[in-house]
């Protein structure tokens, strides 16, 4: 390969050759740390070895192709990437020229139709991304709520977002994002990544998070909209008791009191102390009393 992309000097040379200017507005911080790269790829490949199905990776925001190349060389039979920045497409054509099983689509990950992605039939899918920080949550939620048949996602995100994703009830990091992520996935923090691992370095620390998709959810699909409604309401005003926060949202104190009673939840607790199971009980109680 002409450009060993984990070396910041090569990255500088490559972007200079292409007269490319890094776009802060697109969250362009390119990973240049081999160790972190290996950790991401190892997590992305874990438990795929025994599977008979073709292993496919979906990468959001390939950038210069550093992670893409590492994925392409680690046993995935196909790597499909979605990159928003049209100016990176000719660079990717160069850096990934030796990897014909990589497909780069120029598109916005917030708009692309995941159902139309050109995956091989019957594949085992992993989603991998060093996510652009300005749109981490919308991209993350779009993937979690999608029908993409992945069983694991490995994401680099801002450290404090990662800590919110894995947070347990009772702490200040625990909020609507923690519940949403943990509704869909088992989440684990793999490693903390310092700014020097990127070119250009971001102003904040990053972290790699591993999300293993749950086969069963804490509430059925029927109760899911109410579950998320209750979660949003409970965290909308963190300093309020659960009873008051929910009453503000539902506009009916008596209804909320009865629902909390049905779910055996103390009305003076705060939303941030509720486990997923308790939110589920409350959502089922609210649904039952709403009909």
Residues that bind ligand SAM (CB under 6 A): 26-31, 60-63, 66-67, 82-85, 88, 108-110, 130, 132, 135
> Where does the chain have alpha helices with state H?
8-17, 34-45, 66-72, 89-95, 136-144, 159-166, 176-184, 224-236, 242-250, 253-262, 276-290
**Least distance to ligand SAM from the beta carbon of 159, Å?**
14
**Chain residue whose CB lies nearest ligand SAM:** 61
Comparing CB distances to ligand SAM, the nearer of 54 and 200 is 200
Please tell me whether 130 is known to bind a ligand.
Answer: yes
Comparing CB distances to ligand SAM, the nearer of 192 and 237 is 192
**Least distance to ligand SAM from the beta carbon of 228, Å?**
23
Comparing CB distances to ligand SAM, the nearer of 60 and 280 is 60
**Least distance to ligand SAM from the beta carbon of 5, Å?**
8
Please tell me whether 244 is known to bind a ligand.
Answer: no
Instruction: In whole angstroms, give the CA distance from residue 119 to residue 249.
Output: 42
Query: Cβ distance 78 to 99 under 8 Å?
Result: no
Comparing CB distances to ligand SAM, the nearer of 28 and 187 is 28
Please tell me whether 271 is known to bind a ligand.
Answer: no
In three-state secondary structure terms, 86 is helix
Instruction: In whole angstroms, give the CA distance from residue 177 to residue 161.
Output: 9
**Least distance to ligand SAM from the beta carbon of 60, Å?**
6
CA distance to 170, 175, 230, per residue, from 233 (Å): 17, 11, 5
CA 199-41-113 angle, 5° bins: 85
């Amino acid at each position: 390969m002409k450009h060993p992309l984990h070396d910041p000097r090569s990255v500088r040379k490559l972007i200079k050759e292409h007269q490319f200017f890094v776009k802060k507005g697109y969250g362009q911080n390119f990973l240049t740390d081999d160790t972190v790269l290996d950790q991401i790829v190892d997590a992305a490949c874990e438990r795929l070895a025994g599977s008979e199905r073709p292993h496919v990776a979906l990468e959001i925001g390939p950038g210069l192709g550093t992670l893409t190349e590492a994925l392409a060389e680690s046993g995935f039979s196909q790597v499909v990437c979605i990159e928003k920045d049209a100016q990176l497409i000719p660079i990717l054509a160069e850096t990934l020229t030796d990897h014909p099983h990589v497909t780069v689509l120029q598109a916005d990950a917030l708009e692309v139709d995941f159902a139309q992605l050109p995956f091989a039939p019957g594949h085992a899918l992993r989603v991998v991304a060093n996510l652009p920080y300005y749109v981490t949550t919308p991209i993350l939620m779009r993937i979690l709520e999608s029908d993409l048949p992945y069983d694991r996602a490995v994401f680099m995100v801002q450290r404090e977002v990662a800590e919110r994703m894995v947070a347990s009830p009772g702490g200040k990091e625990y909020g609507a994002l923690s519940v949403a992520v943990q509704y869909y996935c088992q989440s684990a923090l793999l490693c903390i990544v310092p700014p020097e691992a990127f070119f250009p370095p971001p102003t904040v620390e990053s972290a790699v998070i591993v999300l293993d998709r749950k086969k069963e959810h804490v509430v059925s699909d029927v109760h899911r909209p109410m579950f998320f409604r209750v979660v949003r309401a409970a965290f909308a005003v963190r300093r309020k008791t659960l009873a008051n926060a929910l009453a503000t949202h539902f506009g009916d104190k008596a209804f909320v009191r009865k629902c909390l009673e049905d779910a055996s939840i103390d009305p003076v607790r705060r939303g941030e102390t509720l486990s997923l199971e308790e939110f589920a009980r409350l959502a089922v109680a609210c649904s039952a009393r709403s009909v």
